Structure 1
């Protein structure tokens, strides 16, 4: 009996041992290039041919799968690549399998091309990554145009970029602030060709490694990199109507020891626009209560930009990259403003023409130095970045004004000169240390030091045709400094299907402003001289739970800051209209926000669905309000001033969903929807500007392959109506159309696109206040036709490999042109 009991116990123990789960790890790479293949499928098949379990590789091509101990055939698969099977592998304990290399399946090359021409989405612990693919509507377009096709992102008619309807978004290039994006301005994004983009990272719940700047989140634009050995490059030329022309070339020379890269572009564009304003004054000081302004914009933009750099491989694991970026701009804008004043009986009393000729010369020069040391192949590395930039801008405006009714009369003219110099320095160090197979520790420092000096000189005629006299109440020099020092640390780990990333960032901000001038320092409206310091902690929490191999749920929390910058803090008023001016507010304080984000991702064979719900509460949020100053122009028109101020609170909530669907090789569909609401509470100058409203926007894109391999893409965008503290903006529809065909053995591409096919991209706004009511229509750029030609030499047609070089805990990725 004892023998039988012992035998049964032995057999039961053996059964338990046989059923004990062990961990099998490994890596899947592309044959010949050693690129990691993300989302490659790894299956474990038993002796009966049954698939016991399986999994997919991560961004670095790694997999870690728990399986019952036993003998298996391991099958490796990746779309458009030849599958590989490794039979009779005995896995009795934790095992690291040999690295597997998959090669392209020549019979599936057409499918590879299809994948390259679609937009793919990937979920990370702290962001969504959109691989742009071959978006036809951005052929010959700019980076700013391309951003308008990214889910969650909108680009307004005047170029303002919003994330989930919030303009407080931080723009980074390759993970760092850059002259390419502009410090505090996005104008430079209109000069960089859209083809330069490899992918866009939409970071709505930024981890601690990123700046805390931007309450809406971060858009990180990753530029293309060429990894092919030898000499290669491409040239793109485009010509459009209204006149839009550009030529961009990039070249790469890569050896085993170094990589030299250059991207150079020139542009010459005319960009007509228009606006219409109708204002009815309700106060007694208005001699003519109804005033209309019909405005025409005639812009001529000339620009040149070049980026030259070299990456030198010190060892197999370390490299240093030095690069320089130069941007030159020479623009001339003519704004014609026809003003009509009507008396109380709506009879025309005065008609006036105001012509502003503005010239602007810009020079941006940036030097970057990047050092990377990969201590091993598991992600243990140190990165150090140094960056210096100098921006110089000279802007002159001559404003000529004369009455045309009831009599022809020349009025006093104005001449404005504004010289702006900006210096910015960046020092950054990031250290990443993997701990075991799934954990990772990270720490770093970033310092941004910025100084801007704006010299504003307004001279005006006291009598028509008389001498120009300096206006001492407005002419002055404004010096603004912003210094930010930051330390951060974060830790991430993965337990089975559960991953998390916890971080904490400490930022110390110093904002200093000084205005020198004869009269403006006594201005009671503003504290024009200030020196403020803010120190804050910014925690971040990001969690991912894998419901299945192609399904997960994410949860994120972060605290953010929005610092007043640019024209929001500059006290110099705009002068395009003497009756409607915008003036910055040097007294603006930074806004702080706490944000939560819950996301869901599900992938099927031909369909990808992403959804999110989010909530944000912001204190001291910025709001623009318009008010009657109580002053009038020399012609008796009340002066309306628009000024930003700090609201008490601003709460935002919303839901978004995106769908990528490829039902057939010849048809690709892409759609997204975002619904959001907000509630603001705040009082300014004893006026309550609190409001509550909802809005939404949606976009859809279809891409069809026609006979003779001609691609046809249609993209539509609709932004629903929205309301802020004073203004109500109508909905807006925009449709883009594009065609493309590869020629010359696929080494060249010719494309044709129409931007704003219906010429409907116009912003219509109604503003109601106790002292005036106004309606306006604004169109930044009219419908445009564009023809482009791209030629590639020694370059394979781009294939998406799923966002390489960017792990679950890694966010910054390389330098321009690398």
Structure 2
């Protein structure tokens, strides 16, 4: 803990120095609230322009999510105007202001006739920093054009997506992924794999919530990633068309259409993709007996993944009156995949003499289909913020896979999965006075999943046949309440959430069943203190859990290799985590810094471990490496991170993030190994006590080149890390993009090079059963996708290039809940 202690002290010292800087006592505050004149709903990102009539100096600010603005400025005579996209600009008479002034509620009216003539004063930055969350705006990021949702997540500060598609937040995989504030079939049966099928153009922004309030699910010990899909809200008919071509094969098309009138808002996005993803996986396994090399097995695997997919999201919002609306949304996803894996295998004795060679070819076809229907009702009961929101969501996801394996021992694997999910949710918000707010709600989520996994192999050892038929049912009923208030510069939000979980698992092949029922309470506490309009502190505490997903519980085996196998564990229990987060935000001049120190203590921690089995392969006893999740005793994780944005000029912008963390794991794992010849059973106990540090960082530069060509360069580095059984080397990756507006700014061309130096390769050294006494040592290198070059063309009609989506308020907050304090 010495390193982390020193770093924490440094951060506190810097924070104290920033906090003690003297303020300008001559400044005054100009405040107010800007709303839609028709609906009385707040307008976020409205611009307030102050022009000093004596010095001609122009300053100002923008409104927050509640429509409020607070601008610090010297005393003087000002010409003040308020502007917002697609609204008429409101100007105030020239006035000498020598004391704090509150303009009250300012109402703006829509200006539908001059939409194309409006000039946006301030462009949205790629990352918006809020006191309770970080918001990553996808539209301004050129490096993900032509990519997928997985690529978008991989470019979000604090987030990493590894070669297998696993998403982690602050170095932890225990993260909850929501779509528009709710669990969604978009994530699919394959978990994060399905995110590779969703085009990046369908995403408006990603919200990173590291200290969630009680309103959110308690699922996700590291926090929540909320993916917000595009929903156009500009008046009239407008939209955009995107076409992408790339190498390796990457053909995509996307259409976003929106039609809005006084009574309806029809929004939609459609996407089609045909992508190919060549990659490699290489491993060499050294088998030891009594510390002496027995043999070596080398596997070199070439993967070629091809997937075609179509997705459509269509929604209709109907305004019942000025205060309420009902929205229906249908999402459809249909994709077909064909993956080929060619695994060249060689085995050698200790002297290097070849024992045998074989080629294991796996041809896997996969069909994924999802249908989801959502219904949302919002009633803004009064102008003070009282609101009732009701949600219902039904989805059905089906996944069928067939893998034909050609080898010395040929086999066929088939998997058929079907998941039916239902969600019912109600949220109520009641303002109390001007600065307080009470919330309460209910969420019920109900999942029924069946999975039939069949392995057909003439020479398969009957004692190791992994075929199984699983039925999985999970019902979660949750209730929450929270209260928040603001007293001068201090704000607080207290919440309590109760979740009742009913879990039932049946393995039909073995007639085994597992039933687990538990009720948990999850308190949340969030504090905020504003030193000034530019400096603030936040402190958050939350208790959260991680329920094992069906994929973690299902004991089916990945059969691409006979000696390196991954599977689930039906006897997993939830992980519980207590999280603390201290944040500091400072804006001065052209630089914005958001930093935080965090600590997490987890019990019953779910960790993937390597164990050993002895199986008969090609007539010989062979040690097999089995990777599966287990519950360990505990994990402590501490770290700090910061995100910085620096706008050097209108043509040069820099941003970066850095995350350093230390984790300490404690626990033991014991399992039995059966000798297939003698049936003798031996017990192996592995100690997983380990302590390690790691870090990752991003740097982003956006520069305007001659001829108005926009360039963006992104560097990303993941530091090395190790645990009780493995060591992973560091990874450096570089993305490069260029953008040029054409056709009178109605069209945009983007050239994107992902992984410029083709360096994103995962290299892992692992030891089983333990680093101290290994019986096999495995060196692995894994490259999911090689360097990608793509060209994307976007055409917009009846739409301003920098047009911001304004929030009507009728549809509620995009995160699926009320407002945070």
Deviations 1:311-366 (A, max 9, x none): 11111111111111111111011111111111021222111110011111111111
Residue 38 of structure 2 contacts residue 109 of structure 2 at CA under 8 Å; is this kept in 1?
Answer: no
1:31: how far off? 9.5
**Against the structure 1 CA distance between its residues 331 and 564, is the aligned structure 2 distance closer, same or farther, given a 3 Å change threshold?**
same
SS of the equivalent of 1:99 reads strand
Q: Does 1:683 align with 2:668?
A: yes
Residue 74 of structure 1 contacts residue 89 of structure 1 at CA under 8 Å; is this kept in 2?
Answer: no
Q: Does 1:668 align with 2:653?
A: yes
Corresponding residue for residue 579 of structure 2:
595
Q: Does 1:439 align with 2:436?
A: yes
- TM-score, structure 2 normalization: 0.86
Q: Does 1:313 align with 2:305?
A: no
* Structure 2 residue corresponding to 1:550, chosen from 534, 539, 559: 534
Q: Does 1:456 align with 2:453?
A: yes
Corresponding residue for residue 512 of structure 1:
504
Corresponding residue for residue 778 of structure 1:
782
**Against the structure 1 CA distance between its residues 813 and 443, is the aligned structure 2 distance closer, same or farther, given a 3 Å change threshold?**
closer
SS of the equivalent of 1:188 reads helix
**Against the structure 1 CA distance between its residues 596 and 628, is the aligned structure 2 distance closer, same or farther, given a 3 Å change threshold?**
same
Residue 503 of structure 1 contacts residue 541 of structure 1 at CA under 8 Å; is this kept in 2?
Answer: yes
Deviations 1:355-385 (A, max 9, x none): 0111111111111111111112332111111
Residue 460 of structure 1 contacts residue 471 of structure 1 at CA under 8 Å; is this kept in 2?
Answer: no
Residue 73 of structure 1 contacts residue 85 of structure 1 at CA under 8 Å; is this kept in 2?
Answer: no
* Structure 1 residue corresponding to 2:387, chosen from 374, 381, 390: 381
**Against the structure 1 CA distance between its residues 434 and 548, is the aligned structure 2 distance closer, same or farther, given a 3 Å change threshold?**
same
SS of the equivalent of 1:177 reads coil
Deviations 1:25-49 (A, max 9, x none): 742258999862448569999x999
**Against the structure 1 CA distance between its residues 501 and 813, is the aligned structure 2 distance closer, same or farther, given a 3 Å change threshold?**
closer
Using the alignment, how far apart are the partners of 2:77 and 2:34 within structure 1? 18
Using the alignment, how far apart are the partners of 2:631 and 2:119 within structure 1? 53
Residue 115 of structure 1 contacts residue 800 of structure 1 at CA under 8 Å; is this kept in 2?
Answer: no
Q: Does 1:121 align with 2:113?
A: no
Corresponding residue for residue 652 of structure 1:
637
* Structure 2 residue corresponding to 1:480, chosen from 450, 455, 472: 472
Query: Which structure: larger Rg?
Result: 1
Residue 174 of structure 2 contacts residue 546 of structure 2 at CA under 8 Å; is this kept in 1?
Answer: yes
**Against the structure 1 CA distance between its residues 95 and 343, is the aligned structure 2 distance closer, same or farther, given a 3 Å change threshold?**
closer
Using the alignment, how far apart are the partners of 2:763 and 2:210 within structure 1? 29
Using the alignment, how far apart are the partners of 2:502 and 2:589 within structure 1? 51
Residue 37 of structure 1 contacts residue 801 of structure 1 at CA under 8 Å; is this kept in 2?
Answer: no
Using the alignment, how far apart are the partners of 1:719 and 1:580 within structure 2? 25
Residue 179 of structure 2 contacts residue 226 of structure 2 at CA under 8 Å; is this kept in 1?
Answer: yes
Corresponding residue for residue 713 of structure 2:
714
Q: Does 1:615 align with 2:599?
A: yes
Residue 669 of structure 1 contacts residue 703 of structure 1 at CA under 8 Å; is this kept in 2?
Answer: yes
Residue 59 of structure 1 contacts residue 808 of structure 1 at CA under 8 Å; is this kept in 2?
Answer: no
Residue 739 of structure 1 contacts residue 753 of structure 1 at CA under 8 Å; is this kept in 2?
Answer: yes
1:225: how far off? 2.3
**Against the structure 1 CA distance between its residues 493 and 745, is the aligned structure 2 distance closer, same or farther, given a 3 Å change threshold?**
same
Corresponding residue for residue 206 of structure 2:
200
Moved more, 482-491 or 632-641: 632-641
**Against the structure 1 CA distance between its residues 263 and 477, is the aligned structure 2 distance closer, same or farther, given a 3 Å change threshold?**
same
Q: After superposition, where does 1:153-232 map in structure 2 within 5 Å?
A: 153-182=159-188, 185-232=191-238
Q: After superposition, where does 1:122-161 map in structure 2 within 5 Å?
A: 122-124=129-131, 126-161=132-167
Using the alignment, how far apart are the partners of 1:42 and 1:705 within structure 2? 25
Corresponding residue for residue 735 of structure 1:
734
Residue 806 of structure 1 contacts residue 813 of structure 1 at CA under 8 Å; is this kept in 2?
Answer: no
Corresponding residue for residue 726 of structure 1:
725
**Against the structure 1 CA distance between its residues 93 and 399, is the aligned structure 2 distance closer, same or farther, given a 3 Å change threshold?**
closer
Q: Does 1:789 align with 2:793?
A: yes
Using the alignment, how far apart are the partners of 1:113 and 1:302 within structure 2? 41
Deviations 1:180-220 (A, max 9, x none): 23367122222222222222111000000100001110001
Using the alignment, how far apart are the partners of 1:255 and 1:569 within structure 2? 48
Q: Does 1:363 align with 2:348?
A: no
**Against the structure 1 CA distance between its residues 85 and 605, is the aligned structure 2 distance closer, same or farther, given a 3 Å change threshold?**
farther
SS of the equivalent of 2:140 reads coil
Using the alignment, how far apart are the partners of 1:326 and 1:810 within structure 2? 21
* Structure 2 residue corresponding to 1:421, chosen from 418, 422, 428: 418
1:634: how far off? 2.9
Residue 417 of structure 1 contacts residue 457 of structure 1 at CA under 8 Å; is this kept in 2?
Answer: yes
1:757: how far off? 0.5
**Against the structure 1 CA distance between its residues 96 and 479, is the aligned structure 2 distance closer, same or farther, given a 3 Å change threshold?**
same
SS of the equivalent of 1:733 reads strand
Residue 540 of structure 2 contacts residue 581 of structure 2 at CA under 8 Å; is this kept in 1?
Answer: yes
Residue 410 of structure 2 contacts residue 458 of structure 2 at CA under 8 Å; is this kept in 1?
Answer: yes
Residue 132 of structure 1 contacts residue 200 of structure 1 at CA under 8 Å; is this kept in 2?
Answer: yes
1:670: how far off? 1.1
Structure 1: which 5+ residue stretches go unaligned?
Answer: 1-21, 402-410, 464-468, 522-527
Q: Does 1:767 align with 2:750?
A: no
Residue 29 of structure 1 contacts residue 102 of structure 1 at CA under 8 Å; is this kept in 2?
Answer: no
1:696: how far off? 0.2
Moved more, 87-96 or 338-347: 87-96
- TM-score, structure 1 normalization: 0.86
Corresponding residue for residue 17 of structure 2:
none
Using the alignment, how far apart are the partners of 1:79 and 1:329 within structure 2? 40
Using the alignment, how far apart are the partners of 2:591 and 2:206 within structure 1? 20
Deviations 1:641-700 (A, max 9, x none): 112110100000111011111111111111110001100001001211111000000001
Deviations 1:225-246 (A, max 9, x none): 2122222111111111111111
**Against the structure 1 CA distance between its residues 400 and 578, is the aligned structure 2 distance closer, same or farther, given a 3 Å change threshold?**
same
Residue 252 of structure 2 contacts residue 272 of structure 2 at CA under 8 Å; is this kept in 1?
Answer: yes
Using the alignment, how far apart are the partners of 1:330 and 1:238 within structure 2? 19
Using the alignment, how far apart are the partners of 1:234 and 1:340 within structure 2? 53
Q: After superposition, where does 1:49-64 map in structure 2 within 5 Å?
A: 57-63=63-69
1:627: how far off? 1.6
SS of the equivalent of 2:531 reads strand
**Against the structure 1 CA distance between its residues 66 and 755, is the aligned structure 2 distance closer, same or farther, given a 3 Å change threshold?**
closer
**Against the structure 1 CA distance between its residues 803 and 186, is the aligned structure 2 distance closer, same or farther, given a 3 Å change threshold?**
farther
Using the alignment, how far apart are the partners of 2:385 and 2:208 within structure 1? 23
Q: After superposition, where does 1:278-357 map in structure 2 within 5 Å?
A: 278-283=284-289, 289-357=295-363
Structure 2: which 5+ residue stretches go unaligned?
Answer: 1-27, 671-684
Using the alignment, how far apart are the partners of 2:700 and 2:99 within structure 1? 50
Using the alignment, how far apart are the partners of 1:90 and 1:757 within structure 2? 54
**Against the structure 1 CA distance between its residues 167 and 179, is the aligned structure 2 distance closer, same or farther, given a 3 Å change threshold?**
same
**Against the structure 1 CA distance between its residues 809 and 553, is the aligned structure 2 distance closer, same or farther, given a 3 Å change threshold?**
farther
Q: Does 1:698 align with 2:697?
A: yes
SS of the equivalent of 1:186 reads helix
Residue 82 of structure 1 contacts residue 103 of structure 1 at CA under 8 Å; is this kept in 2?
Answer: no
Aligned residues: 762
Residue 652 of structure 2 contacts residue 704 of structure 2 at CA under 8 Å; is this kept in 1?
Answer: yes
**Against the structure 1 CA distance between its residues 183 and 433, is the aligned structure 2 distance closer, same or farther, given a 3 Å change threshold?**
farther
SS of the equivalent of 2:201 reads helix
**Against the structure 1 CA distance between its residues 701 and 287, is the aligned structure 2 distance closer, same or farther, given a 3 Å change threshold?**
closer
Corresponding residue for residue 8 of structure 1:
none
